Amino acid sequence: MISAFKKRGAVLALLFAFALVVGACAEDESADTTTAAPATTTTAAPTTTATPATTQPPATTLPPPPEGNTVLACQVSDTGGIDDASFNASAWAGAQQAAAELEGVSVEFLESTDATDYRANIDAFIAKGCDVIITVGFLLADDTAAAAVDNPNQLFAIVDQSPGPFPPWADADGALLSDFANLRGLTFQTDEAAFLAGYMAAGASTTGVVGTFGGLPIPPVTIFMDGFVKGVAHYNSVKGTSVTALGYDSDSGEGLFTNNFDSLEDGRSFAETLVNNGADIVLPVAGPVGLGSAALCLDTGSCVIVGVDADWNNTAAEFSSVILTSILKNIDVSVYNTINNVLVLGSTGNLFNGTLANGGVGLAALQDNADRVSAELSGEVAALNDAIVAAGGLQAFLDSLVDAG
């Protein structure tokens, strides 16, 4: 059984410590909004060192497409931007790979600089005649659902959401607003991989304290944080240790959030406060905000980072010396396969949920900080991966521990 650990008090104490920081964040966010550049469309890769590269072609069992088939796949980013070194960049990498490897595929993107851009960008792509429109992120769910209802012949895919008996996909009584046959949800059980990262971090920490914070308190963010702190708790249960996980309470859902996905200064400030409270390993779940945390670790040598979404050794290579590992959310593969489905089948395909079992999530290989993880700890993480897969998922694995007493 996973033993309880003293995190609620630590979370509340840190929330108090962050009160002034959060107030400053709100001012920074409004300032950023007023100076943001308008959304633009391009078919070229953004100029950035943060575009991830897929290391191997995505697996597919589809036959070759009918001769002469073409697909224009169009991606709408959230406000993190196409080159966020995180989920937007990963999705765009999958689209770029599809364009490079699949004959007849071309890709374009529109960046959203504000939430009001979401529907406008979707509608612009509908007017353009895109064969499939891929919206990236939970925050685009309302506008994606509404557009899919309004345009039943337009194909869509959305990252981090799937239609279900809840808003925005259904009315207050749970009745779906559409059959959403024109839309594919791409979701990920990142708590499974985050659990492994939490266990690894607990074993690799030299201070006995690790920390996490998020961008917004939304499910695709908190699922990382929840899995991470549960992984730390499991390490404590197995080892009889008392490693502290700051920044999130799985029981209450309370935690540390910057309330934006774009302020590098917030990333630095939040990581600094966690470090000042003893953390030597930090998990920022906030897109490019986490790059500010990595900069703090690089400048001070006081911490290492667990990246999210993509392998930060690829997407943020300038910080490789302070990256422990990354929690992989293989959005690029799911986007590639969705575009391939449209090219070959004329449909987006079934709803997708990425897990450790199907390779949709995982941990990145250790690189510059491999010496922080002993061979014994690495083996335990690998065995834990296998146990979660064998149990049928993280919750089933945790339930089995409870049943075992």
Q: Within 10 A of 338 (CB to CB), how many other CB atoms are there? A: 27
3-state helix, strand, coil in the chain (%, to 5): 45, 15, 40
Share of the chain above pLDDT 70, in %: 85
pLDDT (tens digit, 9 = 90+) per residue, 310-347?
Answer: 999 999 999 999 999 999 999 999 999 999 999 999 99
pTM (predicted TM-score): 0.83
Would you state the structure tokens that stand for residue 191, as one six-digit string? 């708590």
Nearest to 213 by CA among 189, 182, 246, 183: 246
DSSP 93: H
Would you state the structure tokens that stand for residue 396, as one six-digit string? 């089933």
Report the distance separating Cα 130 and Cα 182, nearest Å: 13
Average of per-residue pLDDT values in the chain: 87
Domain boundaries, the chain: 8-24+190-329+356-404, 68-189+334-342
Superfamily of domain 68-189+334-342 in the CATH hierarchy: Response regulator (3.40.50.2300)
Q: Which CATH class is domain 8-24+190-329+356-404?
A: alpha beta
Averaged pLDDT for residues 138-159: 97
Averaged pLDDT for residues 348-356: 95
Predicted pLDDT at 30: 32
Q: Is 280 helix (H, G, I), strand (E, B) or coil?
A: coil
Residues with Cβ < 8 Å from 139, sequence gap 6 or more?
Answer: 78, 79, 115, 118, 216, 218
Q: How far is residue 75 CA from its own chain's centroid?
A: 17
pLDDT (tens digit, 9 = 90+) per residue, 188-223?
Answer: 999 999 999 999 999 999 999 999 999 999 999 999
CA angle, residues 150, 153, 158, in degrees to nearest 5? 75
Number of residues written out for the chain: 405
Please report the beta strands in 215-349, taking only residues with DSSP state E, as ranges in sequence order: 244-246, 281-285, 304-309, 323-329
pLDDT at 53 over 50: no
Specify whether the CB–CB gap between 360 and 353 falls below 8 A: yes
pLDDT at 6 over 60: no
